[in-house]
Structure 1
Amino acid sequence: MPKLPPRRLLAVAAALALIGGQADANPARTPAPGGTDQGADQACPLGSFHCARRPLNYAMCRPNALLEFYDPTLSNDSSLRETSPTQVQAQHVDSSDQSVYHLSGEVRLQRADQLLQADRVDYNDSSTDYDARGNVRYQEASQLLAASHLRGNTDASRGIADDVRYQLLEARGNGSAKQGHMLDALHTRYSMATYSTCDVGHHLWEFRARSITINKDTGVGVARNATMRIGNVPFLYLPYFSFPVDDRRKSGFLYPTIGHSSRSGYEISTPYYLNLAPNYDATLDPRYYSDRGAMLAGEFRYLLPGTGGQLNAEYVPRDHGKNDGLADTQGDSRYLVQFSDHTQLWKGWQFVGSYNHASDGSYLYDFGNNLSHTAVYMLDSNAAIMGGGKWWNASFGGTIYQNLNPFVTDSVLPYKQLPYARFGMDVPLSRWLEVGMDSSAVAFRKNGFIGGQREDLYPYLAATFGTSAWFVRPRLAYRYTAYQLDSDYRDYGYGGRLGGGATSPFDQKSPSRALPVVSLDSGLVFDRSTTLFGSSYTQTLEPRLYYLYVPYRNQNNLPLFDTNVMSFDYWQLFSTNQFSGADRQMDANNLTAALSTRLLDDGGVERVSASIGQIHYFSPQKVLGTDWVHSAYVAQLDVQLNDRWRLNTAYQWNPNTRLTDMAAVELQRRVRTDGIFNFSYRFRRGLLEQYSASLVYPVSERWRLVGAWTYSVKDRESVDALAGVEYDSCCVSLRLVGRSYVNQYYYGFGPAPTNLNHRDNAVMFEVVFKGLGSTGGQIDPLLRRDILGYQ
């Protein structure tokens, strides 16, 4: 077998890579013929609220769907080309010209991962011209190529091939062309060509174009005068269409989505992505609503040194929707603007801001509450300068709100905070002692309600004693809250005159409250080895006592700016305040007794956790308005003995009323590899009682059923029902989802106008042609929200 210098005949083979030019010489990148090693499912851990998107799955592609001359024994290491000799085989070799080599008869040229086969090859060593004819076949780590005739020049990296068939091995993609032109090492143009990411010979879809240009430098392919086909049926003409040939971002159309909702009619969205620069991009999203008209939506993202942000905008030049009694917007221009920014100012300090505003209070009710959105009752805008160090944090800014519930007035909005300042610190004085403080100063404003300023100072001294078997944590705090009410405070019932000219004791423009907050938290931890169902565990037993003392202060002269009673749960057993804000501080002379037990596996993972506790009141709680001796019993149980199922329960029983105050059950079960089943029951006395179930059920490798259902016992109806189907194949996936739901904008706020149906319906269809770019993703947010663990 003759051996030639490495620069000679295999330079021909290196030039024959018409589809992508020079391959990436990286031995760590192993090709995946047929896509069998791409898109493997990775199950989301049970209980996760946010699951990673499933990668495009090519596992259903035929593992041997390769051009017939593929040689699996050929090396995949393209980094060895420069140091490897060229192996040449041929039945006849003629080099009488000294500079021209004529090879014929089952010609085979191999170097490292490159293999060229043809009936005849002529090569000019002086000019580096080459000519290969008859059953030309070329293979390397990244691709396969077949042609009837191939000629060109290796030094100039130019070449022309006739009757081309090609296949990408590292990236999905294959097709054919009447002729291929390698313009240089990184640019190739095909004439009368096809392209698809489906299996060779089994194209569910493809596009056929007058010309296809591949630019490996940018990772973009461009097709001109193309028709998109399903099978052999053309359904879309594309005068210009770009698509990715690797994983880099690129400009181009995202997949359109088609849907229907009760408020806006049929919707079609055709987003176009603009990859403007590595650190900023944009998306234009023209939409059309059959009942309301045209909309132009857009998104702009930027990431600059020390700053980053995003701008989203939607604009309807003229709303064609009928007047339904909510707001007369017919003929009006309507819009939504959402902007957020995060900027580093100097070391330890940053600016964080957002601006969100809609043209009217019905905007999101008409345009936002469709298949893939939850009800948004208000928009908030804020701006703040924030800083922090090792033991401190601070912020200064303001927050305002806009009402977006057309069925209620602005009275439901929270107070504007213009401005606010907050400072917190936590300084360790020794290994067991620390001092800290939480403080804030806020100016509250709300039309039609009392306004004013509030300062809240909350310093504390805390200690921690103990080992892994016990702990004692005493804490001493002092809370001082002062107000400066606006001059019209008497108009809102915070003052005035009593009979006989006496002044009310609450007639104060500058009321205040000061009191100590003392607590002592203590507990023990016992552990032992045990077995359950044949597995070994470490079981703990953890009794805990928590004492809290807060003296009573009459706070009826203090306004309620941002304060509400929080829902009682297990962690409230150990809280210093059952109010969410600083306007009220509960009084307490309480002792909490609790007991917990856990099962830890050999890896330290908590498999079972059970807790129960109750508060004993030594004196009535005057601020909360109860005179109970005991609180409700609070119990919770979490079980996950393996990675296939999980159970969480919580229960509260009140011995004072002898009634159940709260109950919750959540069950999650893994179904095969990529399926999930969820069931939950939620009850809170006087507020709600609901059953919920959701499911992702893999019927087969290609089909999945999705569904979600929520039923309200109190209202005796389904609050939300969703059903859909997903189809996945080698190169295309489909999703069809329908939803019937109670519109939450007016649900719970009294009767809706008589001309409105309180139930809305929506349906949406998405198709993804794998390997052609990203989807609009309008169905995905809904399924993630309604189906815990959905991927």
Structure 2
Amino acid sequence: MKKLAPSLIAIVITISLYNNSSYAIGLPKNSISNNPQCLIDVPRFDRPLVNGDINTLPVNVEANQLKAFYPSIAIYNGEVLIEQGNRTVQADKVTIDTQDNNNRIVKLEGDITYQDNLIQMKGDVASMNLNNNDANMSPSQYQLVNRLGRGNADQMKFEKNRYIILKNGNYTSCPVNDSTWNIKGTTVIHDNEEQLLEVWNAIFSIGKVPVLYSPYLQLPTGDKRRSGLLMPNFSYDSIDGIDFSIPVYWNIAPNYDATFTPRVLQKRGVQLQTEFRYLNELGLGTLAFDWLQHDSKYSEDRNNHTNGNNYDNNSHRWLFHWKNEELINYNWRFYADTTRVSDNQYLTNLNSKYASQTAGYLTQFYKMAYNDESWDVTLGYRHFQPFHSGLKNSLYQTEPQLDVSYYNNDLGPFKFRTFSQISRFLTSGENKPKAWRTHIEPTLNYTLTNSWSSLTSEVGFMATHYNQDNIKKEIEQYKYLNKSVNRFLPKFSIDGKVIFERDIPFIDGYTQTLEPRIKYIYIPYRNQSNISNYDSTILQSDYIGLFRDQPYSGLDRIASTNKISTGLTTRFYNENKIEKFNLSIGQITYFTKSKTSEHNNDLDENSDTGSITWASDNFWRISDDIIFRSGVQYDTRIDTISLANTIFEYRPSGDKLMQLSYRYANRNYIGTVDKNPSYRGYKQDISQAGIMTTWPLSQTVSAVGSYYYDVKLEQTTDSFVGLHYSDCCWGMTVQYGRKLTDWDNISRKSKYENKLSVNFELKGLGNNRDTKAKMLNFGKLPYTTAFE
């Protein structure tokens, strides 16, 4: 035999033979081929399945001629057709020998075709055992039924209604008349039950060119989870060079599995990524740990201060992730979602599907909860790992936090609720105060409602006690703080909504609604300058936000409120009661200035009372394929639009998509909402426009791409382009992207990373994932549909 010289491309393609169908618990299932043309010549089994003992099923035979040797031998000649249960046999000549009831034999000769619900076989000479369905055929061709998979052999056996055993045979999942790739072996065993192909002395060929020899090869042929190698990933980027990884899947048990992924980064070293997934009677979870022994590129960047001084003094790099959801019993549950990394630059350099660096920090969160008809009790622990030194000493952790809610709806027309909370706030900042906070908030609710209106009134109070320590009064922002603070605030609100409905005279079958809403809220003023801010931030005032009780999250800042929120929504429904259009517009009018202290936020310094905030939301289903959404927020205190966004999406089919989007944020608004000194450097508004698309160029080639541009900075924010080739036999993806990764404080310019990715897939070997959907998530701004 000619010696085979392996190459990189041969190794990549050959390893992809081990592609396994199961990544983890809950992987979405897809058909073997999304193109129905691939199954045109595939034999089908459309009859109802016949169950029962094969020895008791009747045998029906049709032929042009019959010779019988009573009582045990029958010879059929000419266009013979035999049917029994799920199997049919056609041949020129058939001899049935039933002398031994335990070993009834059928011999077939000439133009033989055998088919059942699993396989179709063709050959010249064959024999079958009617008792156990075993069959031998030579020479032979075979084709799996209702799915891709075929081959031929010098001799073929079908045993135990499960195994296809080939001598000097081959296998391919390519359609008939397409031999792009195949696997040959001296012995090939196809296990229908385990959906597994085993090949001895295997030669993998592309076309007629052999590219690899292996003494033994094991391949998945269906959707069943099996241990083995998964599809390799190959990419190249301008920072790390070649990035090559080979996932190894371990099917531990039906409810446990794991993936081990050795990853080679040309300029960094070898990383091992591990992921363990579990599903038990209590719940499910994922446990992951990634390790890079020594990152030479990271050490070089740290020495050169490539990204400033934001580096940790570590030589090994790692990531830990644990997500767990457990329902212990009917009342008790446990939840954990924690991710930690070795250093501030980890996610920028190595990426991870478990977290993103865009948030600025990672969260470690655990909670134990109890609930029944009247009580919700949660004990939680929340810790942060910030990526920036400015955040490190400013973020507050709740270690721990106890939330208790009590509900009583058995008070006639009234509903009573009490929310209480005990929190301990800690921070690594040596000069920042720490605190215990205790809060209780009972509320009595009375609601009148019918099919077209509702009126809800609430009355209650908020009582909070603070025990603050580590107060540095010599620091300007803390000079008003007191160690012990009690705050009591009554509250009252009334909220009314009405729905008017009419048939639209000029659009047949359409209905329009008009939905005015008005809400009044009163909370008196209490000076809160003696309380530090531990967990409060200003919330967005979109249309829904106009009707919140408070403009702040958390409990440290409860603004005085004497306001009325008004809004109007109109909706259009077609004859099938599908919402085709809606438009909402509303405003907040303050009768007295809203504040939390005499040292209020920047926005409130510009206006006292009157109409402060306007907001509008819009949805338009132009057709079944086209959706338009938009939102605008206008703030009179900065006399301009504070936030805006719009999205237009055209999706005529599952493989065609075009999305246009735009988002805007005013720099004055950003500076007010985000008080973190690390992000006080906004000199311009955020104004970004983007396009994302995937579109078939032909039946086998699709293009995928996105482009996001920052109008104010006049630079690209994120972009990629890719081509995906997929026929009935194999597929390939080539993708190139350029994404913003950091800011160079010296040159005052953005830093970019260029990345090239190449991936292969062989159809019919396992369950291929939705490749184009994965391609749309290539950049930092992944695809989010407007249709939901």
Alpha carbons 2:181, 2:204 under 8 Å: kept: yes
- 1:489–1:139 distance in 2 versus 1, CA, 3 Å: same
Q: Which amino acid in the other structure matches residue 232 of structure 2?
A: P
Q: Which amino acid in the other structure matches residue 476 of structure 1?
A: V
Q: Which amino acid in the other structure matches residue 313 of structure 1?
A: F
Q: Which amino acid in the other structure matches residue 620 of structure 2?
A: V
Q: Does 1:333 align with 2:278?
A: no
Query: 2: distance between equivalents of 1:755 and 1:154?
Result: 81
Alpha carbons 2:311, 2:345 under 8 Å: kept: no
Query: 2: distance between equivalents of 1:699 and 1:372?
Result: 34
Alpha carbons 1:628, 1:656 under 8 Å: kept: no
Cα deviations by residue, 1:437-468 (Å, 9 ceiling, x for unpaired): 22221111111122111122222111111322
Which of 574, 583, 602 is equivalent to 1:610? 583
In the alignment, which residue of structure 2 is the partner of 1:543? 516
Q: Which amino acid in the other structure matches residue 466 of structure 2?
A: Y
Q: Which amino acid in the other structure matches residue 59 of structure 1?
A: N
1:133-148 correspondence runs (5 A): 133-148=109-124
Q: Does 1:356 align with 2:323?
A: no
Query: 1: distance between equivalents of 2:561 and 2:269?
Result: 60
Q: Which runs of 5+ in 2 are unaligned?
A: 1-26, 668-684
Alpha carbons 1:633, 1:653 under 8 Å: kept: yes
In the alignment, which residue of structure 2 is the partner of 1:289? 265
Query: 1: distance between equivalents of 2:483 and 2:357?
Result: 42
Q: Does 1:121 align with 2:94?
A: yes
In the alignment, which residue of structure 2 is the partner of 1:703? 701
Which of 238, 251, 257 is equivalent to 1:262? 238
Cα deviations by residue, 1:635-661 (Å, 9 ceiling, x for unpaired): 222111431111112223345554233
In the alignment, which residue of structure 2 is the partner of 1:379? 362
Percent identity of equivalent pairs: 24
* TM-superposed deviation, 1:94: 3.9
Q: Which amino acid in the other structure matches residue 545 of structure 1?
A: I
Which of 323, 333, 341 is equivalent to 2:300? 323
Alpha carbons 2:221, 2:766 under 8 Å: kept: no
Secondary structure in 1 matching 2:776: helix
- 1:207–1:789 distance in 2 versus 1, CA, 3 Å: farther
Secondary structure in 2 matching 1:536: coil
Secondary structure in 2 matching 1:602: coil
Query: 2: distance between equivalents of 1:753 and 1:425?
Result: 56
- 1:681–1:579 distance in 2 versus 1, CA, 3 Å: same
Q: Does 1:442 align with 2:416?
A: no
* TM-superposed deviation, 1:256: 0.9
1:406-555 correspondence runs (5 A): 408-411=389-392, 414-430=395-411, 432-448=413-429, 449-490=432-473, 506=480, 508-531=482-505, 534-555=507-528
Cα deviations by residue, 1:85-135 (Å, 9 ceiling, x for unpaired): 433234554443743334444433223542212233333311423432332
Alpha carbons 1:402, 1:413 under 8 Å: kept: no
Which of 257, 268, 275 is equivalent to 1:299? 275
Which of 771, 784, 788 is equivalent to 1:788? 784
* TM-superposed deviation, 1:562: 1.4
Q: Does 1:279 align with 2:252?
A: no
Alpha carbons 1:182, 1:188 under 8 Å: kept: yes
Cα deviations by residue, 1:663-721 (Å, 9 ceiling, x for unpaired): 32211112455311111222222141111211122223322221111111221111001
Q: Does 1:343 align with 2:343?
A: no
- 1:758–1:370 distance in 2 versus 1, CA, 3 Å: farther
- 1:774–1:658 distance in 2 versus 1, CA, 3 Å: same
Greater shift, 457-466 or 427-436, is seen at: 427-436
Q: Which amino acid in the other structure matches residue 301 of structure 2?
A: D
Which of 74, 94, 109 is equivalent to 1:101? 74
Greater shift, 422-431 or 270-279, is seen at: 422-431
Alpha carbons 2:648, 2:786 under 8 Å: kept: no
Alpha carbons 1:255, 1:774 under 8 Å: kept: no
Structure-1-length-normalised TM-score: 0.84
Query: 2: distance between equivalents of 1:656 and 1:104?
Result: 97
Cα deviations by residue, 1:263-297 (Å, 9 ceiling, x for unpaired): 32211111121212111111121111111121221
Secondary structure in 2 matching 1:758: strand
Query: 2: distance between equivalents of 1:131 and 1:452?
Result: 89
In the alignment, which residue of structure 1 is the partner of 2:722? 724
CA RMSD, 1 decimal: 3.1
In the alignment, which residue of structure 2 is the partner of 1:250? 226
Cα deviations by residue, 1:756-776 (Å, 9 ceiling, x for unpaired): 971111121222212212458
Alpha carbons 2:567, 2:585 under 8 Å: kept: yes
Q: Does 1:736 align with 2:734?
A: yes
Greater shift, 672-681 or 366-375, is seen at: 366-375
- 1:100–1:381 distance in 2 versus 1, CA, 3 Å: same
- 1:222–1:359 distance in 2 versus 1, CA, 3 Å: same
1:175-194 correspondence runs (5 A): 175-194=151-170
Alpha carbons 1:425, 1:438 under 8 Å: kept: yes
Q: Which runs of 5+ in 1 are unaligned?
A: 1-50, 497-505
Alpha carbons 1:171, 1:246 under 8 Å: kept: no
* TM-superposed deviation, 1:416: 1.7
> What count of residue pairs does the alignment treat as equivalent?
720
Query: 2: distance between equivalents of 1:52 and 1:279?
Result: 16
Query: 2: distance between equivalents of 1:370 and 1:267?
Result: 16
Cα deviations by residue, 1:462-491 (Å, 9 ceiling, x for unpaired): 111132232211111211222111245546
Q: Which amino acid in the other structure matches residue 137 of structure 2?
A: A
Q: Which amino acid in the other structure matches residue 600 of structure 1?
A: Y
In the alignment, which residue of structure 2 is the partner of 1:585? 558
Which of 145, 162, 167 is equivalent to 2:143? 167
- 1:377–1:239 distance in 2 versus 1, CA, 3 Å: farther
Query: 1: distance between equivalents of 2:458 and 2:261?
Result: 56
Structure-2-length-normalised TM-score: 0.84
Query: 1: distance between equivalents of 2:271 and 2:654?
Result: 41
In the alignment, which residue of structure 2 is the partner of 1:765? 758
Query: 1: distance between equivalents of 2:219 and 2:440?
Result: 59
Secondary structure in 1 matching 2:713: coil
- 1:328–1:656 distance in 2 versus 1, CA, 3 Å: closer
* TM-superposed deviation, 1:232: 2.4
1:38-117 correspondence runs (5 A): 55-62=31-38, 64-66=40-42, 75=47, 77-79=49-51, 85-96=58-69, 98-111=71-84, 113-117=86-90
- 1:357–1:573 distance in 2 versus 1, CA, 3 Å: closer
Query: 1: distance between equivalents of 2:530 and 2:537?
Result: 16
Query: 1: distance between equivalents of 2:311 and 2:496?
Result: 62
* TM-superposed deviation, 1:408: 3.9
In the alignment, which residue of structure 1 is the partner of 2:529? 556
Q: Which amino acid in the other structure matches residue 364 of structure 1?
A: L
* TM-superposed deviation, 1:513: 1.7
In the alignment, which residue of structure 2 is the partner of 1:12? none
Query: 2: distance between equivalents of 1:52 and 1:647?
Result: 28
Q: Which amino acid in the other structure matches residue 554 of structure 1?
A: N
Alpha carbons 2:269, 2:296 under 8 Å: kept: yes
Q: Which amino acid in the other structure matches residue 655 of structure 2?
A: D
In the alignment, which residue of structure 1 is the partner of 2:611? 630
Alpha carbons 2:740, 2:750 under 8 Å: kept: no
Alpha carbons 1:397, 1:420 under 8 Å: kept: yes
Query: 2: distance between equivalents of 1:79 and 1:156?
Result: 14
Query: 2: distance between equivalents of 1:380 and 1:344?
Result: 22
- 1:382–1:735 distance in 2 versus 1, CA, 3 Å: same
Cα deviations by residue, 1:710-743 (Å, 9 ceiling, x for unpaired): 1112211110011112222223232222110111
Greater shift, 148-157 or 613-622, is seen at: 148-157
In the alignment, which residue of structure 1 is the partner of 2:350? 367
* TM-superposed deviation, 1:409: 4.5
Q: Which amino acid in the other structure matches residue 542 of structure 1?
A: E
